[in-house]
């Protein structure tokens, strides 16, 4: 393929020449191919020119239907070829990256209509691949052994036989098993407690093969926010271990749905401690010819770890609307954490002597030392004045203690925004009340370029918004009845958005017993692979999609999505993560809860109108709509010319 899609003059600015070519694309080439070109796209193109020319960060807030994806793709691809490093397009989640690369997606459209090859490859998170060892473990289970055995038999021949691989052959992707629900997938999919470094099958693992493949992309690597932040957080550690970073050196980064990056950053910068995993790693030392003092120290640490996690189990309570459990702190708990730390320090000291005797395999010793170092650092955070954010999660048959440092801003500032390269935040919702200060603050930015362009759609003619009368309270049964009335009027064709899986499950339980439930096909998030569910919803025009994670990015133009029902205003849950944010805020409701809710609600409402021919209704439920101040702010984010009608 040609290096550039235009004649390049090395004596002139590359970005200036690329910008001229992009202008030709929007003014001539795409209109000739039948595209509707919008003024908002042209404006955005000129704004991005400055960010790429000056290698700056820019907030590109562009309303639904502005065609922003085409703009940032053209700049990112051109610049990648100039720098000879791929661009990174980081999406909010795994389902969105699939939409970007689907056969009718924007990358395929550009390649087809501009007649040049684009080398775009997916970099999916590790938990999107099956683990061969976990698959072996579950094949003998009574309930689903036959299902898992079928998956095993369908693996490529080179996985379990000495067959040679002639080229890249992708396998084991979550998308390859669309009918598996989340519970079944979790039993065979990779998780954070898999020790890949010592796995003798890792060189034939689908995850490893995929990683080798996407690293060689010439133009674009598409990944999730979580995966990009994991790359940032593990970069140095992987280099110390002699591994390649998760992502190669890149020329620019685009954060699509960039308002969600902070959440991804916090999730990536976490430590997850689990007793069975700790015991499995530390007991490797006992298999070697070690001194008695080290063996005793290991046994003592295992006993203390087991006791500590039993105590954590007793001290943790479930948080409604969240998958996390809150840890109730006490002096006893802090004392036992300090005791475990002291015992780990003894092991570390013993290992210094042991390493000089060369009785422990060097590779095994390195793995144990890295794990101990991680645990020690995570537990040491409790000795800081600024305590970490902590919660407890249930993983299969054991508890995990999750520890998240609070200094996410500092990490982002040092390792992302300090780099001299173009960084684009793209979303329809980056500002709050017309200001980008909220986003800059939570991301730790000192300065950034920014612009905002509205959607070109005629919302006053295309959209209706409905809500209960001011002062009217609706219980669960009333909401279910009203929902079925709305479904009947729309003929199905509805997306129902829930703030938590707990509320989705409650609706599912209630709706299954409703007299009219048999008249509709309900598709529930979690019952199959998410992109498969989305495809079913789009194909079956009268179906109903019930989701928790699709407030952003879902792009289904046409009659299949003619109504959006917001089951509850999407305020953040009262889990430890948001509790910590509220604690640090002067006015928690105004500074934490409302901005989060308004951004998410704007995104959810944006799922309805995806083309000029779309029309439909948005129904908003929520007890907090009876608060005059909340209702007023909700009314302010509704598109101009649209009013709230009473149900």
Task: Tell me which long-range contacts 52-55 makes (C-beta under 8 A, separation of at least 24).
Answer: 52/15, 52/18, 52/79, 52/252, 52/422, 53/13, 53/15, 53/16, 55/420, 55/421, 55/422
pLDDT given at position 321: 65
Classify strands 253-256 and 423-427 as parallel, antiparallel or unpaired: parallel
**Whether pLDDT at 166 is above 70:** no
Structure confidence by residue, pLDDT tens digits, 557-610: 899 999 999 999 999 887 777 887 788 788 889 888 998 899 899 999 999 998
* Residue tagged 């910068």 (tokens): 269
Mean confidence (pLDDT) of the chain: 87
CB crowding 169-204: b at 16 or more within 10 Å, else e:
eebbbbbebeebeeebbebbbbbebbeeeeeeebeb
- Using CA of residue 478, residue 631, residue 450, residue 606, what is the dihedral sign? positive
Structure confidence by residue, pLDDT tens digits, 171-203: 999 989 988 988 899 889 988 767 777 788 888
Give the CA distances from residue 467 to residues 73, 415, 616, in Å, rounded to whole numbers and listed in that order: 38, 44, 14
Which residues are bridge partners to 435 per DSSP?
Answer: 432
CB-side exposure of 276: number of CA atoms within 13 Å?
A: 11
pLDDT given at position 14: 93
Least-confidence region, from 35-44, 164-173, 304-313: 164-173
Spatial CA neighbour of 596 closest among 621, 619, 623, 578: 578
pLDDT given at position 261: 87
Q: Distance between CA atoms of 225 and 233, rounded to whole angstroms?
A: 12
Which residues are bridge partners to 326 per DSSP?
Answer: 317
Q: Distance between CA atoms of 291 and 107, rounded to whole angstroms?
A: 60
Q: Distance between CA atoms of 611 and 555, rounded to whole angstroms?
A: 10
State pTM to two decimals: 0.81
DSSP state of 285: G
pLDDT given at position 165: 63
Mean pLDDT of the region 112-135: 89
Q: Edge-to-edge, what's the strand order for the sheet holding 544-547? A: 522-524, 544-547, 494-497, 563-566, 616-620, 463-467, 644-646
pLDDT given at position 356: 65
pLDDT given at position 396: 64
pLDDT given at position 506: 94
Q: Which two tokens stand for residue 435?
A: 């200001």
Task: Spell out the residues 6+ positions from residue 588 whose beta carbon is closer than 8 angstroms to its own.
Answer: 581, 582
Q: Which two tokens stand for residue 425?
A: 């935040």
Task: Decide: residue 134, CB within 10 A, 0-12 exposed, 13-18 middle, 19+ buried.
Answer: middle
* Residue tagged 């509709």 (tokens): 520
**Whether pLDDT at 237 is above 80:** no
Spatial CA neighbour of 355 closest among 370, 367, 366, 344: 366
pLDDT given at position 548: 94
Structure confidence by residue, pLDDT tens digits, 61-116: 988 888 888 999 999 999 999 999 999 999 987 767 777 777 778 898 888 888 88
Structure confidence by residue, pLDDT tens digits, 49-68: 999 999 999 999 988 888 88
Q: What is the pLDDT confidence band of residue 307, given thresholds at 50, 70 and 90?
A: very high
Q: What is the pLDDT confidence band of residue 363, given thresholds at 50, 70 and 90?
A: low
Q: What count of residues does the chain have?
A: 647
CB crowding 501-538: b at 16 or more within 10 Å, else e:
bebbeebbebbeeeeeeeebebbbbbbbbbbbbbeebb
Mean pLDDT of the region 328-353: 91
Task: Spell out the residues 6+ positions from residue 13 whose beta carbon is closer than 8 angstroms to its own.
Answer: 53
Q: How big is the CA angle at 534 (ends 530 and 540), to the nearest 5 degrees?
A: 140
Give the CA distances from residue 579 to residues 118, 394, 545, 592, 622, in Å, rounded to whole numbers and listed in that order: 44, 20, 31, 10, 21
pLDDT given at position 263: 78
Q: Distance between CA atoms of 566 and 439, rounded to whole angstroms?
A: 24
**Whether pLDDT at 2 is above 60:** no
Which residues are bridge partners to 190 per DSSP?
Answer: none
Share of the chain above pLDDT 90, in %: 43
Q: Which two tokens stand for residue 598?
A: 């308004």
Classify 140 as helix, strand or coil: coil
Asked whether 436 and 425 are in contact (CB, 8 A), the reply is no
Which residues are bridge partners to 58 per DSSP?
Answer: 424, 449
Least-confidence region, from 22-31, 231-240, 489-498, 537-546: 231-240
Q: What is the pLDDT confidence band of residue 1, given thresholds at 50, 70 and 90?
A: very low
Asked whether 570 and 600 are in contact (CB, 8 A), the reply is yes
pLDDT given at position 357: 58
E strand residue ranges, 354-448: 389-395, 398-404, 423-427
Asked whether 231 and 53 are in contact (CB, 8 A), the reply is no
Q: What is the pLDDT confidence band of residue 413, given thresholds at 50, 70 and 90?
A: confident
pLDDT given at position 164: 65
Least-confidence region, from 224-228, 345-349, 579-583: 579-583
Least-confidence region, from 110-114, 266-270, 539-543, 593-597: 266-270
Mean pLDDT of the region 218-235: 90
Tell me how far the alpha carbon of residue 414 is from its chain's centroid.
Answer: 22
Mean pLDDT of the region 535-540: 93
Q: Distance between CA atoms of 317 and 325, rounded to whole angstroms?
A: 5
Asked whether 568 and 498 are in contact (CB, 8 A), the reply is yes
Helix (H) or strand (E) segment spanning residue 378: helix 362-380
pLDDT given at position 439: 85
Structure confidence by residue, pLDDT tens digits, 13-41: 999 999 999 999 999 988 988 888 888 88
Mean pLDDT of the region 376-383: 88
Listing DSSP states for 503-558 in one string gives HHHHHHHHHHTSTTGGGS-EEETTSS-HHHHHHHHHHSTT-EEEESSTTSS----S
Mean pLDDT of the region 524-537: 92
């Amino acid at each position: 393929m040609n290096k550039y899609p235009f004649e390049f003059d090395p004596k002139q600015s590359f970005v200036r020449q690329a910008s001229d070519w992009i202008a030709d694309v929007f003014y001539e080439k795409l209109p000739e191919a039948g595209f509707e070109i919008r003024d908002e796209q042209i404006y955005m193109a000129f704004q991005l020119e400055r960010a790429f020319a000056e290698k700056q960060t820019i907030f590109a807030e562009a309303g639904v239907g502005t065609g922003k994806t085409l703009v940032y793709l053209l700049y990112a691809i051109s610049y990648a070829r100039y720098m000879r490093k791929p661009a990174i397009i980081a999406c909010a989640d795994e389902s969105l990256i699939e939409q970007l690369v689907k056969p009718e997606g924007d990358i395929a459209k550009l390649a087809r209509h501009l007649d040049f090859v684009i080398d775009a490859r997916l970099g999916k998170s590790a938990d999107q691949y099956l683990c061969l060892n976990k698959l072996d473990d579950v094949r003998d289970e009574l309930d689903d052994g036959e299902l898992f055995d079928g998956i095993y038999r369908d693996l490529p021949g080179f996985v379990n036989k000495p067959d040679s691989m002639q080229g890249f052959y992708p396998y084991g992707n979550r998308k390859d098993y669309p009918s598996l629900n989340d519970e079944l997938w979790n039993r065979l999919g990779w998780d954070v407690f898999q020790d890949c470094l010592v796995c003798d099958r890792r060189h034939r693992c689908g995850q490893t093969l995929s990683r080798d493949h996407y690293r060689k992309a010439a133009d674009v690597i598409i990944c999730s926010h979580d995966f990009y932040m994991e790359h940032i957080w593990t970069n140095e550690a992987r280099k110390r271990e002699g591994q390649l970073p998760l992502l190669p050196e890149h020329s620019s980064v685009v954060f699509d749905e960039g308002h969600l990056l902070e959440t991804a950053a916090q999730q990536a910068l976490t430590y997850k401690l689990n007793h069975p995993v700790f015991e499995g790693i530390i007991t490797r030392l006992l298999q070697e010819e070690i001194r008695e003092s080290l063996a005793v120290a290991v046994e003592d640490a295992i006993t203390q770890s087991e006791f500590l996690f039993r105590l954590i189990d007793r001290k943790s309570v479930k948080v409604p609307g969240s998958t996390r459990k809150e840890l109730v702190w006490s002096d006893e708990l802090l004392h036992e954490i300090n005791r475990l730390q002291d015992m780990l320090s003894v092991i570390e000291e013993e290992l210094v002597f042991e390493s000089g005797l060369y009785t422990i395999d060097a590779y095994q010793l390195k793995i144990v030392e890295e794990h101990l170092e991680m645990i020690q650092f995570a537990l040491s955070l409790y000795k800081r004045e600024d305590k970490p954010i902590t919660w407890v999660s249930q993983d299969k048959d054991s508890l995990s203690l999750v520890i998240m440092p609070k200094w996410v801003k500092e990490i982002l500032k040092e390792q992302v925004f300090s780099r001299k390269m173009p960084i684009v935040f793209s979303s329809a919702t980056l500002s709050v009340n017309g200001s980008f200060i909220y986003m800059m603050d939570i991301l730790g930015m000192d300065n950034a370029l920014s612009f905002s362009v509205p959607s070109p759609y005629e919302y006053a003619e295309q959209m209706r918004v409905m809500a209960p009368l001011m002062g009217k309270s609706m219980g669960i049964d009333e909401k279910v009845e009203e929902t079925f009335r709305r479904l009947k009027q729309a003929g199905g064709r509805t997306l129902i958005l829930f703030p938590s899986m707990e509320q989705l499950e409650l609706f599912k339980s209630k709706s299954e017993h409703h007299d009219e439930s048999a008249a509709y096909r309900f598709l529930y998030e979690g019952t199959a692979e998410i992109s498969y569910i989305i495809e079913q919803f789009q194909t079956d025009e009268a179906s109903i999609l019930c989701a928790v994670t699709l407030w952003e990015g879902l792009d289904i133009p046409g009659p299949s999505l003619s109504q959006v029902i917001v089951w509850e205003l999407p305020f953040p849950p009262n889990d430890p993560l948001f509790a910590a944010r509220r604690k640090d805020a002067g006015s928690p409701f105004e500074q934490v809860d409302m901005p989060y809710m308004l951004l998410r609600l704007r995104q959810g409402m944006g799922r309805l109108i995806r083309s000029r021919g779309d029309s439909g209704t948005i129904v908003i439920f929520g007890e907090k709509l009876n608060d005059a101040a909340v209702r007023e702010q909700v009314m302010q984010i509704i598109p101009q010319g649209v009013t709230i009608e009473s149900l």
